[in-house]
Amino acid sequence: MAENAEAVVYYPPKQGCPYLAVVLVDGRVMACQPVRSLSEGEMVLAATMKELPRLIAEAKAEAKEETDA
């Protein structure tokens, strides 16, 4: 897992907005998903953190493709 990874659930700013489950790596958003509750967000984040090495590899590959183009 990335050393600078953070997983957080943001509370809705007002009624009717969803919670947001967010994974940040070095301050960049790697994953963001609206969820219905804090507990659902925590479950989503746990699963996402397991997938984090793959997400980072995909992001690096995309960045390389853009640079090479």
Give phi and psi for 21, each to the nearest 5.
Answer: -95, 120
Instruction: Classify residue 66 by burial, with Cβ atoms within 10 Å: 0-12, 13-18, 19+.
Output: exposed
Residue 59 belongs to what domain range?
Answer: 5-68
Mean per-residue pLDDT, 51-63: 86
Mean per-residue pLDDT, 38-62: 91
Predicted confidence band of residue 2 (pLDDT cuts 50, 70, 90): low
Token representation of residue 35:
């969820």
Is the pLDDT reported for residue 38 higher than 80?
yes
Mean per-residue pLDDT, 16-32: 92
Task: Work out how many domains the chain is built from and give that number.
Answer: 1
Mean per-residue pLDDT, 1-20: 90
CA distance 8 to 20: 8
